[in-house]
Chain A
Amino acid sequence: MRQAIRAIGWAVNLFWIVLLFFGATVIYSAFQLGVVPDDAFISPIVDGVVTISMPYRFNNSGLYDISDLYLASSVKDSQGAEILNSSSQLPLIPRGSQVNLVHNISFSMTEMVADGFSYLLFNDTELSVDMSLGLVYARVIPVQVSTNMTMPWGAPLSNLTLGSVSVAPYNASHMRVSIPFSFENHSFFELNGAIQLEIVDNAGRVVGEGRTGVNAPPQSPPFRTTIDVFIPLTPTSFREARLYFDTSAFSYGPMVIPLV
């Protein structure tokens, strides 16, 4: 029995040494881990998809490998509804190495509008961003770090305003309806494309339409233009105007504006 007691004593001492060595080296190695975020950049819009890229450099100078690393982000509106989410993975960061990871957040304004977030086109707001970083340290310790921050959202069609409609005779068969309108592009992407305007009479028929080009750089002064619509000279009154936006970032419409 004495031999058994001695053997167990040795085993306990050995396990303590292993555990303390492991714990000390894990804490030491954790302080050798560096995460350096580089400047984020916005890629050109392709097929209406806006991509924000956030590069990170992971420098693992510690004694243990980092595996199954993931970086996830979730953007929610002020009501807590998730607008988009994105995640990036890195299977392994070997010890003593530096690995780059580009975390891309891609979103389509058109899809966001279809999902019920059309107010983001017109209203500036604050968005909530949840970011989490997960990894398995030293192959046995899963760790997750998460944080929450707010981000200002600039609407691409902020302060969209239609001016007073002016009607003037154009020729013997048509009259010209001019509708001035303006908006401010508060977003971080450029707005290129066209805006189409339809005039609808009281019977619900489209009696005329006009189109104008749009080029509004991000954070630029208000974009102002006037759309001319030529309408046949028939006695009628107008019920509404329908606006259709077809830009590089999104397509939206109709936006119905009643005409008095």
Chain B
Amino acid sequence: MSAGLTNWEGRVGAIALEQTAPPGYGVVLEALAGEIELAGARCILLDSLIGGVMPDLPEAACERLQASLQAIDLLSQHLAGLSAFARRLGMETEDTCEAPVALALQDVTLGALADRLLTALGSESQGVEERDQAGDLDLF
């Protein structure tokens, strides 16, 4: 995979996974479930933050935000369902079949997410943190 690639700074997944055996599909699905669960938690946090400021806002602004809150609530439930699906699938999947994740990780442009996935899939972290170098890696 990725032989001959240049200007690869920030493509943490591609670099490190060349050095380790590919993970099994069960591990990959569990890592995905964990990330979806985190996205769901962030939705719940956003919902809570918006709900917290609404009493201080003018009525017209509150009405506009209600539709957003409904969308966030639906998204949160959507993510909970996807997470449960991936989690169960991961638990029921044997790890004997290796997942070719290196190329897929190259498509993850959010650095912190790529680094967390990398770690969950058995490689060394490249030390990319949220609010650090966590943005779209193509901007580097």
A and B: partners?
A: no
